[in-house]
Amino acid sequence: MSDDEPDHELLELLRQHMQGKLTLNQEPETGVLEGAEWVYDNSIDVALDMRSCKNAAAAIYAQMKEKQYSPATWSSHELHPDRWELGDEETVAFIFTMDLLNFSFWSEKKEEDRFAVEYGGKRWTGYWSLVAALRRALDEGIPITDPHFWQSEDECTLDVLKNVFRCSTNEQMPLLEERLACLREAGKVLYEKYHCSPIKLIDAADGSAAALVNLLAKDFDCFRDEHPFEGRRKPIRFLKRAQILVADLWACFEGEDYGEFRDIDKITMFADYRIPQILNNMGCLFYSPPLEAAIRAKKDIPQGGSWEMQLRACSIWCVELLRKEIVRQHPDTQINAILMDFFLYDTIKEMEDQGKEVAPHHRTRSIWY
């Protein structure tokens, strides 16, 4: 083709693009933010206070800077492995197992009677009791992070899991049967689709955080945290444990190797029962009187109900608005929704440890968070 001849192929591509017909290899999206905004726009029992959000954004930024929050903060927690301690493969297996079971630790018992795990000379409750129990099992030679073990109905039994989660009080780890079902399903899916290896699953996402979240939601029932909401055609996607799994990999590996994701900033806050609590405490999130009364009375808030969906979605949207405000005030910041979430979770836990008076978190018993 001589220089003065038009490149018809390029012109055709351009024409298709101008007509919106050209779909370049578009990066995947999880749809979590879109769903959260939709529910926020249609919420009547949960709302945001924009003045408090503006003040909170400045306070969160200042405290995160002061505490130097970064991906490395994750491994600084005593029970979290850093990537060198267990080696890459076992670290990935540990994080996958942890976030497969990372749900519903709250208890109505008094502090001394609630489920707790003794490990490393300390008493661990809540999320940390899970991490401590997994470490203790590995120390005792129980292959609790091995998908082959999870599949075995002879080896990985409810009694074995009761032993893994044994504790010194008379309260059992909540939803133990459901946790066993998660392990069993994950073992089966990993065997059928990923050569029994979480690393093969990560490789299949080809460096995209959104793709990995979508793969987890597509292939594993127990990660498919999406639910219908009043009149909306598509389910609302929270994908909390799928997202926190990607976030924990990113943080533990500090954005390298099995933690390297080019679109990590697409991960949102993780819709659990702690972040709504601290957002409410900060005045950012507030409730209709009946919902406020139900939460303060520690009433059961049914999973999938309108109240619970509004709580989770509006919390995601609130953190997104806080993040945008922080970026507006500090355009060069590395702070993303993951680090904000980690900070908010750690903060509410510190406030509780210090005995600070905070309103209760909402009570929903579910495998999703």
Residues belonging to the active site:
272
Kindly give the interhelix angle for 306-329 and 289-296, rounded to the nearest 10 degrees.
Answer: 100
CA 12 – CA 336 distance, rounded (Å): 39
Dihedral sign computed on CA atoms, order 162, 166, 170, 175: negative
Residue 59 C-beta: closest distance to ligand 56B, Å: 18
**Do residues 319 and 32 lie in contact, with contact meaning Cβ atoms separated by under 8 Å?**
no
Q: Tell the burial category of 79 from Cβ atoms under 10 Å away from its Cβ (0-12, 13-18, 19+).
A: middle
- In order of 33, 352, 365, the CA distances from 29 in angstroms are 9, 36, 28
In degrees and rounded to multiples of 5, residue 113 shows phi and psi of: -105, -10
Whether 322 and 315 have beta carbons less than 8 Å apart is answered as no
CA distance 315 to 293: 19
Q: Which residues bind ligand 56B (CB under 6 A)?
A: 74, 77, 102-103, 105-106, 126-127, 270, 272-275, 341-342, 345-346, 369
CA 191 to chain CA centroid, nearest Å: 24
Smaller CB separation from ligand 56B, 185 or 272: 272
Q: Least separation, in Å, of the C-beta of 45 and ligand 56B?
A: 21
**Residue 369 DSSP SS3:** coil
CB of 321 to ligand 56B, least distance (A): 16
Is the Cβ of residue 221 or residue 350 nearer to ligand 56B in the bound state? 350
DSSP H or E segment with residue 237: strand 236-237
87: number of CA atoms within 13 Å, CB side? 2
Report, in Å, the least distance between residue 259 CB and ligand 56B: 13
Q: How far is the CB of 331 from ligand 56B (least distance, A)?
A: 25
Q: How many CB atoms lie within 10 A of CB 50?
A: 11
- What residue number has its CB nearest to ligand 56B? 126
Q: Which is nearer to ligand 56B, 188 or 363 (CB)?
A: 363
Q: Do residues 158 and 177 lie in contact, with contact meaning Cβ atoms separated by under 8 Å?
A: yes
* Closest to ligand 56B by CB, 116 or 194: 116
Q: Min. distance of Cβ 319 from ligand 56B in angstroms? A: 9
Of 56 and 194, the one with the shorter C-beta distance to ligand 56B is 56
Select 93 or 251, whichever has its Cβ closest to ligand 56B: 251
Nearest Cα to 274, choosing from 86, 127, 122?
Answer: 127
The torsion region of residue 231 among left (phi > 0), alpha (psi -120 to 50) and beta comes to left
